[in-house]
Copies of this chain bind each other. A is one copy, B any other.
Amino acid sequence: LAKQKEVHGGSRRTYEWPRPAVTVDIAIFTVLESDGGAELQVLLVERDLAPFAGAWALPGGFVHENEDLSAAAARELLEETGVREGYLEQVGAVGTPGRDPRGHTVTVLYAALLPPDKHVLRATGDARSAQWHALTKLPELAFDHSALLEAALSHVRRSLGRNGACFALLPDHFTLTELQTVCEVVLGRPLDRRNFRRKLEEGAFLSEVKGEMRTGRHRPAQVYQLIRKRFEAHAQREGAIPF
């Protein structure tokens, strides 16, 4: 293990000790139809090495030399899903001793949000046994990943209205009902349809996609897209959409 001299910060002392390993773990969320209703899902990979062989875990790996943390997270996202650009936010760092039985490991946790239409690309990565799991039916998770997932989830809940997080869970074109469903699923509680729409109107960061409509056997819905510039201006003024 590495030894090093302390020359950091304001310290005048000299220390030597082994370095902890630095990893990135990533909770990749999406909203999918799952037996009847839309459900929030997280991408898990099955471990085939000890410790926790056979258990499910969040995708993750070591940070490369001179690689930015967000770049490492983006790399993991790409490897697992084939998605090159996704919504990515840092949740925080965890380095509790003993969290990895192999040694002292500090992990930086990220949360990612994917639209459902990107899922086809999933096999593009290196063919690991990655699978979507509904949050309501989670298997046992390896390491402290259960706590990490919990933290990532509450982070996502808090940031739903910020940074356009909710739009990251939808394709470019979407109906207001789809948007509301996604929000309800993430927040885990129902929202009032009219109040929801009013807030969006006030923000004025959606534009109707002309002509396009989608259909069931009922009245078709208007399709919208996000005007990113307007949204950012709105977010600057108001902070967030107050779902």
Contact = CB atoms under 8 A, between A and B. Distances in A.
A69 B45 contact: no
Nearest to A44: B10
Contacts of A46: 10
A58 interface: yes
A96 B108 CA distance: 13
B93 A69 contact: yes
Interface stretch (A1-9, A192-200, A218-226): A1-9
Main secondary structure, interface of A, reads loop
Given A19-B19, A22-B22, A62-B17, A7 B102 contact: yes
Interface in A27-49: 44-49
Contacts of A4: 21, 62
Nearest to A60: B9
Contacts of A128: 10-12
Interface string A113-153: 00000000000001011100000000000000000000000
A157 interface: no
Contact of A104 (B20, B25, B66, B93): B66
**Stoichiometry (number of copies):** 2
A105 B68 CA distance: 10
Nearest to A21: B19
B106 A48 contact: no
Contacts of A18: 2, 65
A232 interface: no
A8 B96 contact: no
A22 to B, nearest CB: 5
Given A90-B92, A97-B66, A61 B104 contact: no
Nearest to A104: B66
A5 to B, nearest CB: 9
B25 A2 contact: no
Contact of A93 (B17, B44, B90): B90
Interface of A: 1-2, 4, 6-13, 15, 17-23, 25, 44-49, 57-69, 90, 92-98, 100, 102, 104-106, 108, 126, 128-130
6 contacts: A10-B128, A12-B48, A12-B128, A17-B62, A65-B104, A106-B106
